[in-house]
Amino acid sequence: MRIVNIVGARPNFVKIAPLIRAMSAEPALTPILVHTGQHYDGPMSEQFFTDLDIRPPDFNLGVGSGSHAAQTAEVMRSLEPVLDSTRPDLVLVVGDVNSTLAAALTAVKLRIPVAHVEAGLRSFDRSMPEEINRLLTDAIADLLFVTEESGRKNLLREGVAPEKIHFVGNVMIDALQASRPSWERSSIASGIGLDGQPYVVVTLHRPSNVDDPRTLLDYLGALQELARHVPVVFPIHPRVRQQLLRQGHLTESGTPVHSKGVACLDPLGYLDFIGLISRARLVLTDSGGVQEETTALGVTCLTLRDTTERPVTVSHGTNRVIGADPTRLVREVMWSLDHPPAGYGLPPLWDGQAAVRIVKILRETFEGGSRA
């Protein structure tokens, strides 16, 4: 069974690593890896591939940046000849980025079955581009692998046939557990003088939080205020750096003008980032994946959004959704430091075996004579 696996952005790399590993252990499966190049920072992509021990992709489409429409169209245009030449039995997509939807559309038009890993997640906020990608990918997928019970319920409510839905757990947690010995050795915290000290980690990248100049500066001001109470570490996403450059708010050393007292870092590789948040007292984020990782690590997380498509991180984990209001940030952090939320253990099937379950289902589907 020839399976073309699509990755395009850094969160995809984390999800695909355990899947490629599990597929490669099955003689009946031949995994083919296609990197669309949606995240076009070469060194960062290479760092993630190295950290996660992912073999080099068989194809790199080199799509790069662009508007949502342009990027989606370019992935489709570049992927079609790859699928024509490899003639796979299945195309597997992960997550909710533009490459996910573009690859699923391309495969369906060529009458190739599609499997979606991390299906069914819903924020119910259609202003988020990722929500549109999730909805449309799930609508055309043949096999839908869900990470939490909310995903199964959402898909059933949307009319997806129950036999297409498989509750398998979370491949991001597979990657986290498999790489534990490596990220536990990370010296990133000691490298910035915080080894053994309490600190807060911040990640920001959502357009709603960083694209408006006033909102972004308000967040930076709030982080500067928070740093008076507890050390703050801020790995700066390329999107944030681009916004600050446009606005003229970077110093000659490349740090934000309005971040005095905040430890600003360049984007981190996977192992250093997990090593950093695993030792943090608290994480502030607008990332979906970080909500899951902090839940698995038992680290208090405050989500800087009005909604989450991962409700299990709230019901079973240490996550609290506090809204996208910079003026509340310091108050909410200080309250949470004094009243850390109680975690309820790992969510069901977050046991490091999700990829094995997925591959078993793929193998049985193929051996049963069905093309998904």
Could you give the residue numbers annotated as active site? 205
Which residues are CB-contacts of 165 (< 8 A; sequence separation ≥ 6)? Answer: 119, 120, 144, 146, 152, 155, 156
From 361, 370, 349, select the one nearest 23 (Cα to Cα).
361
Residues 223/224/225/228 CA torsion (nearest 10 deg): 110
Instruction: Please work out, in degrees rounded to the nearest 5, the angle formed at the alpha carbon of residue 22 by the alpha carbons of 21 and 27.
Output: 105
The enclosing H or E element of 31 equals strand 30-35
Structure tokens given for 323: 């809204």
Q: Please check whether residue 186 is in contact with residue 274, taking contact to mean a CB–CB distance below 8 angstroms.
A: yes
Q: Which residues make beta-bridge pairs with 31?
A: 3
Separation CA 297–CA 183 (nearest Å): 12
DSSP string covering 318-335, please? SEEE--S-GGGHHHHHHH
Q: Exposed, middle or buried, 329 (CB in 10 Å: 0-12/13-18/19+)?
A: buried
Rounded Cα gap, residues 164 and 188, in angstroms: 43
Q: What is the DSSP string of 192-233?
A: TT-TTS--EEEE---HHHHTSHHHHHHHHHHHHHHTTTS-EE
Phi and psi at residue 279, in whole multiples of 5°? -100, 0
Sheet bearing 232-235, strands edge to edge: 262-265, 232-235, 200-203, 282-285, 300-303, 319-321
Give the SS3 label for residue 307.
Answer: coil
Rg over CA atoms, the chain: 20
- CB burial of residue 142 (10 Å; 0-12, 13-18, 19+): buried
Tokens representing 365 are 């589907």
